[in-house]
Amino acid sequence: VRQWTLGVDIGGTKLAAGRVDDSGVITRRRERPTPTGDGATVWDALVAVVDDVLAGEGIAQIGVGCGGPMDRAGGCVSPLNIPGWREFPLRDQLQDRYGARVALHNDAIAMALGEQQFGAGRGSDAFLGMVVSTGVGGGLVIGGRPVDGRTGNAGHIGHVVVDPAGPRCTCGGRGCLEAIARGPAVIAWAREQGWAGDGDRAQGPALVATARAGDPIALAALTRAGQAVGVALASAVALTDVDVVAIGGGLANAAGDLLIGPARTAFAAHGQLDFVRGCAIRAAALGADAGIVGAAALVGIDGAGAAD
């Protein structure tokens, strides 16, 4: 009988893994920075993290959330922010090394599933989880199952257009939510307005800290990002009829109400239909653990990228 599952969260900043029990609690967690370098270097770092968590025990099932894009049918990943992995056969490599069944999905979808099962979306039958971090992503969980769409990319709220005349987006479009609300874009906007940073401190944490201390530019930058999130959510909720949205990810977790407050205000201003107004906009509840918990939850979903 399975007592716990291995959840693996692979991003451009860190590789994290944990033992997750059936109630979504992480009992052993390890992480290390994602190395730059070739595919083998990244793979070796991942193996080191996983081996450390397993501590010599076997594992039957592994759930993996990874940055996209990916070819889920083939189990290959090409994360934009991990240049060493292009068409990297992650699922087969993990299966071969650990003899485990591997379920693989987009990291934002894993996060959404984790929040729906164990966090801010508990009890919701129609849920949108979103991440505001280095990028902006999201995942829909309807009837307890992640919504895949044709290619597994449903829920990409970061590329909902909120300002057709807005800034260029990394996707090639213009005025996407991500082009305005992703961490680096928020910081760039603040810099343009004259925000000076906070010494040598990393810019994301510095922006939130100076905003909390009352810096008007830092506050305006987070407000602007939150407003864009709220505008996108008004459209997304009208389209999907979800009843709960949870907002997480590094920037949103750090900024809290400085970002989610303006998001709620803009959502209320733009979302006027009764069913839209009935949707709750919440802060994500699992923090930085959502990725691992959600990845582990993927193994319970039939067909979540798993090959037997």
Minimum CB distance to Zn ion, residue 256 (Å): 25
DSSP 188-230: HHHHHTT----TTS-HHHHHHHHHHTT-HHHHHHHHHHHHHHH
Residue with smaller CB distance to Zn ion, 26 or 154: 154
Our CB check for Zn ion shows the closer of 115 and 178 to be 178
- Binding positions for Zn ion, 163-182, rule CB under 5 A: 169, 171, 173, 176
Closest separation between CB of residue 136 and Zn ion, Å? Answer: 9
Q: Other C-beta atoms within 10 Å of 3: how many? A: 8
Nearer to Zn ion, 173 or 197 (CB): 173
Please, what is the minimum distance in Å from the beta carbon of residue 176 to Zn ion? 3
Q: Shortest gap between Cβ of 93 and Zn ion (angstroms)?
A: 30
Collapsing DSSP to helix, strand or coil, 162 comes out as: coil
- Pick the piece of the chain touching Zn ion (CB under 5 A) from 153-161, 196-204, 241-249, 272-280: 153-161
- By C-beta, is 42 or 136 nearer to Zn ion? 136
C-beta of 176 vs 244, nearer to Zn ion: 176
- Provide the CB-side half-sphere exposure for 103 (13 A, CA): 22
Among 105, 159, 182, 224, binds Zn ion (CB under 5 A): 159
Q: Which is nearer to Zn ion, 128 or 176 (CB)?
A: 176
Question: Distance (Å, rounded) from C-alpha 39 to C-alpha 202?
Answer: 27
Specify the stretch interacting with Zn ion by CB under 5 A; choose among 127-135, 159-167, 257-265, 290-298: 159-167
Residue number, 152 or 158, with CB nearest to Zn ion: 158
CB within 8 Å of 194: residues ≥ 6 apart: 217
Burial class (CB in 10 A: 0-12, 13-18, 19+), 202: exposed
> How near is the Cβ of 71 to Zn ion at its closest, in Å?
21
Distance between CA atoms of 160 and 130, rounded to whole angstroms? 12
CB of 8 to Zn ion, least distance (A): 27
How many residues bind Zn ion, per CB under 5 A?
5
Q: Which stretch binds Zn ion (CB under 5 A): 18-26, 113-121, 158-166, 268-276?
A: 158-166
- Residue 113: both structure tokens together: 């599933």
**Least distance CB 304 / Zn ion (angstroms):** 25
- The answer for residues whose C-beta is within 8 angstroms of residue 127's C-beta and 6 or more apart is 112, 115, 116, 121, 140, 141, 142, 242, 243, 244, 245, 246
Helix (H) or strand (E) segment spanning residue 50: helix 39-54
Cα gap 117→136, rounded to integer Å: 21
Residues in touch with Zn ion (CB under 5 A): 159, 169, 171, 173, 176
